[in-house]
Amino acid sequence: MGKETLIHAALDGDIERVKMLLRLSVSTKIKDKDERTALQWATVNGHTAVVKMLLGANAHVDAQDTYNGTTLYLAAEKGHTDVVMMLLGANAHFDARDHSQRTALQWAAEKGHTDVVKVLLDAPQSKKLKFPTQTVDGALASSVRGSAGYIRGSQ
């Protein structure tokens, strides 16, 4: 039982197999050929129960793959709102950038995942950042925050 087994179990969303492997002390830090961890694969596929279990087993929330993609970036890119919220709750690095210098917020916006964009902008981590409007994130934040469909606190 080894690294590929935990990664495949997470990839498949097989919660029982993940649970068994964690009980056997299989490391959550092991990576595949693309430098992705089990947590990253569970994130990509939106397997919230597996993500929660791996976070509970202290999986590294900010591990980066070959393209510098973190779990938050991957969840945002795929539009997995619940996973994004879980990762933010686990203090995922909000402003991490991938190999093309894009953030999770930029990926979510580019892919049209408005619910994820809203979650990211409402996150406490977003309040700590200054978004000058001349930056891509700043223009995006201003645009989303000012849109008719999104008024902070109106929900």
Dihedral angle computed from the Cα positions of residues 130, 133, 135 and 137, in that order, rounded to the nearest 10 degrees: 70
**pLDDT for 129:** 64
Which tens digit of pLDDT belongs to each residue from 10-58?
Answer: 999 999 999 999 999 999 999 999 999 999 999 999 999 999 999 999 9
Which tens digit of pLDDT belongs to each residue from 61-88?
Answer: 999 999 998 999 999 999 999 999 999 9
Which tens digit of pLDDT belongs to each residue from 99-154?
Answer: 888 899 999 999 999 999 999 998 887 776 665 444 445 545 555 544 434 433 33
Q: Are 142 and 130 in contact (CB under 8 A)?
A: no
**pLDDT for 150:** 40
Q: Are 124 and 112 in contact (CB under 8 A)?
A: no
pLDDT at 98 over 70: yes
Which tens digit of pLDDT belongs to each residue from 27-36?
Answer: 999 999 999 9
Q: What is the pTM of this model?
A: 0.81
Distance of CA 81 to the CA centre of its chain: 9
From residue 7, give the alpha-carbon distance in Å to each of 95, 104, 142. 26, 23, 39
Q: How far apart are CA 120 and CA 76, in angstroms?
A: 9
**pLDDT for 152:** 36
